[in-house]
Amino acid sequence: MNRLWIQLTLGFALVTLVTTLTVALLFNARADATFRGYLVQSQVTESGILDRLTAHYAAQGSWAGADSLLVMPRGSGMGMGMGMGYGMGLGAMLHSSLVLANADGRVVADPAGIIGGPTLSAGERSSALAIIVRGQTVGYLLARATNGAALPSAAQHFLATLNDTLWMTGLLAGIVGLVLGLLIARGLASPLARLARGARQIAAGRLDERVPVAGPAEVQTVATAFNEMAAALETGEAQRRHMVADIAHELRTPLTVIQGNLRAMLDDVYPLSKEEVATIYETSLGLRRLVDDLRELSLAEAGQLDLQLQPVAVAALLAHEVALFADLATSQGVTFQIEALPSLPAVLADPERLAQVLHNLVSNALRHTPAEGSVTLRAHQEGANLRFTIADTGDGIAPDDLPHVFERFYRADHRGRAREAGGSGLGLAITSQLIRLQGGTIGVESTRGAGAQFWFSLPMAPIGVIPQPSRGRHASG
């Protein structure tokens, strides 16, 4: 009983049963009343009372004295068998009570007292027989069967046959509803069962499991979402494995250098001198920077970095970053350009983290700009945001590499960039996370052989707030 398809099937069956019983009961009561009314009206029409009332009003011009005419002659008149094949007279049909009302619906005569008020209701008037004299309605004759009056055997047989047909139709509808309910229930339960099996496969580590997208639109939406989740888990697992392999590779190189140099000094291959110790020390500093970058990236991805958002002056920030790299740019034969109006509004950001972002992007641009090249820092207003651009005149980035430049440890070394010229491979990944944490967006545009443009956009600070000077923050790339 706890299976969904069983519960749905029983639910369909119960709804069909209740609906059929309700319709049968209502139809039976309505059919009995309607049929009795039909018999009474036929009896009245065939009895001649309507003609006598018409003649009385035509002669008198009013309904005075019409009470005596409201008597149904029993056993007289034309038999109903002429129209229905019953072969019995009116007197044997059904006893009825009559009510006479004038043209306005006001009751004139009600011998049996079957009308509760002085006038006929709209429903009673619509079911009454109109009395027409010289083309005008002068009154209404309402006929009702006496409560508890027994129907003739032929009429009872007709109603019994009608009820039997109704019950047979209801039984057939119930069977059809039960079968359709079973089919619909299984159709709904089967995709859910497939989703359950797929979830168990995912839990068992088979992340390539997918479920077919079939069934109603809502079930298809759930199946599509499940497949998207499975694909995301598979991609995340692949990235995790690649990251672990990349971290192991990045750590192996400095550790190998340190271990090799120490082994060489122990074996007296290298002299125990300050120069050799300094080499090992520099290697350990690089290893420390890698560990710090990994920690910072993990905190940024988890949203656990402490950010102090405040207005920051843009022109001063760009000038400060250019000053930090002036000596290095001069030694490489690279020139700096700043394209930013002094009147630019302040940007809402963490000063240290924003300086770190610019430091990483400028350092990356210098790394890939040849001698006699240039690096340009731009800033301009774009709607409610400020857009920063760091453009270089280097070799640019291949189209295949563009979607991956902000991934951890991604470097296009196999495209001709020497590995020793690069950083830890985490600088751009950290930069991307820092921009997103501050409510901005970041991207890159490049054409192979025409340089690259890294850009990011951050919201402007509220007007009237005094911007704070930036404090430089060095970070590895």
Q: What is the pLDDT of residues 422-473, one digit of tens each?
A: 556 788 888 998 999 999 999 999 988 889 999 999 999 887 655 555 554 4
Domains of the chain are: 4-154 (3.30.450), 217-301 (1.10.287.130), 310-459 (3.30.565.10)
Q: Residue 434: which of 345, 349, 316, 341 has the closest Cα?
A: 349
Q: Report which residue type is found at 225.
A: A
Distances in whole angstroms, Cα of residue 129 to Cα of each of 133, 307, 317 = 13, 89, 98
pLDDT at 471: 52
Nearest alpha carbon to residue 315 among 361, 374, 356, 358: 358
Taking only the tens place, the pLDDT of each residue in 227-241 is 999 998 888 888 778
Task: Mark 52-80 as b/e (b = at least 16 C-beta within 10 Å).
Answer: ebbebbeeeeebeebeebbebeeeebebb
Whether residue 217 has pLDDT greater than 90: no
Q: Which ranges of 204-273 does DSSP label H, i.e. alpha helix?
A: 217-266
Residue 343 CB partners (closer than 8 Å, separation 6+)? none
CA–CA distance, 184 with 169 (Å, rounded to integer)? 22
pLDDT winner (highest mean) among 113-127, 202-216, 284-298: 202-216
Weakest mean pLDDT among 20-29, 56-65, 118-127, 405-414 = 405-414
Q: Please write the tens of the pLDDT for every residue from 38-67.
A: 777 777 777 788 888 889 888 888 888 887
Residue 86 has pLDDT above 90, yes or no: no
Residue 320: pLDDT above 60?
yes
Q: Which residue has the higher pLDDT, 8 or 62?
A: 62
Distance CA 357, CA 248 (A): 26
pTM for the whole structure: 0.51
What DSSP letter does each residue of 299-351 carry, written as one string?
HHHTT------EEE-HHHHHHHHHHHTHHHHHHHT-EEEEE--TTPPPEEE-H
Q: Would you state the pLDDT for residue 257? A: 83
pLDDT at 112 over 80: no
Task: Output the CA–CA distances (angstroms, integers) from residue 191 to 182, 223, 385, 418, in the order listed.
Answer: 15, 8, 47, 53
- pLDDT > 70: what percent of the chain? 86
pLDDT surpassing 60 at residue 335: yes
